[in-house]
Amino acid sequence: MIRTGGYLLGFSVKRRATRRKAIVVYWCFCVWFCSLIITRGFETQGTVSFLICLFLCFSIIAGELGGIRANGAVKRFEGLRHRERRPTFQTLLKNEPLDAEGTVRTSDPMDEREEKIRDHAHFDAFKFSRRLSLLLLVCFVFLDMSHTQNLLHIAQAFLFGIALTMWSLPQTLILWSEPDMEPADEGSGEAQA
Amino acid sequence: MVISWPKMLGGTWSNGMIRAFDGHEPKNDGTDDYSFMTPEDIKARKALERLKRIDERDVNIRNSAHYRAYSALRWIVPAGLFLLIAEPYRRHPFLVPAIYVLLLLVVSGLPQSILLWTEPDMEPADEGSAEVQA
């Protein structure tokens, strides 16, 4: 389910412990970003800042965590519909595997076990998202009654938080729960060497 | 209303059209006899019954529906966010709770809707038409 040899925010994804560190860093960044929206909002630059945030979502979340895009830490969720492209100089430098026909497979097809893991991660993520949405709605109703000044900013931040959850929670659950890819001895042997 | 409306579909609620996602069933007519059992035994028995009620096929279908629903919501939620930010809509404060409620309804009911939409007929088509004729 996790791409071997991948990196997440500079951390190797082979070990679960290092993966979890990367995930904690990632979610701290997300919380910080949401708090920034609460204080400043999208008001200043409006739609332009929203587009920048969406671009960040695509480039960082989809790119780094994977799942939605091909070259992330997690395999592409719809792995069966992988794209095939001709090898370029860059792919030759990266030493990416080639097919018999000479094309590059950007994502390996998923087997049945991986599909089960993927679907189960989405089920768990959906359960969490459902509760989060309800909780945020209740929070918003209470804030609305207290006539908070920057209510629109809070609404934007809450919705942005839900959007971030939608984009990255299943990948996070997979990265968090999958076991180590290499035995502990091998890693310590490398470290000693 | 926001909470009770999606419960009609089931999934998160026992008495809906779809069985509870985590295996709960509607309570029967009191035939279960838990007398002369210790609390631990009752708990173990209930856990066993709960495990029995949802089989592997159900779990696969349920998870697959959630995957498809989640894939759709990845685009629906940013669209809602865009409504809060885009200039013509930002000036209407009533949109904020409306978007929230709509989003909550979609999040609460989309997997159940997908399941109800895609599951095949429970009885053959001929049998139903024969009943109508009778």
Same domain, A154 and A128: yes
Same domain, A26 and A52: yes
- Residues of chain A in contact with residue B96, where contact means CB-CB under 8 angstroms, are 140, 151-152, 155
Flag if B100 and A140 touch (Cβ within 8 Å).
yes
pLDDT (tens digit, 9 = 90+) per residue, A50-90?
667 767 766 676 677 888 777 778 888 876 444 555 555 65
Same domain, A29 and A56: yes
Same domain, A12 and A103: no
Query: Cα separation of A133 and A144, whole Å?
Result: 16
Average pLDDT over residues B114-121: 86
Sorted by where each begins, the domain ranges of chain B are: 4-19+55-133
**Maximum alpha-carbon separation in chain A:** 65
Q: Tokens 């965590």 map to which residue?
A: A65
Interface A:B, Cβ pairs < 8 A: 99
Closest residue to A133, CB basis, from B96, B97, B104: B104
How many domains are contained in chain A?
A: 2
pTM of the model: 0.74
Query: Cα separation of A1 and A113, whole Å?
Result: 9
Same domain, A23 and A97: no
Flag if B3 and A136 touch (Cβ within 8 Å).
no
A189 domain residue, yes or no: no
A191 domain residue, yes or no: no
Same domain, A42 and A99: no
The band of A44, judged by pLDDT with boundaries at 50, 70 and 90, is low
- Residues of chain A in contact with residue B84, where contact means CB-CB under 8 angstroms, are 42, 152, 155-156, 159
Residue A7 has φ and ψ, to the nearest 5°, of: -130, 145
> What ipTM goes with this model?
0.74
**Range(s) of the domain holding residue A36:** 7-75+115-182
Distance in angstroms between the alpha carbons of the first and the last residue of chain B: 40
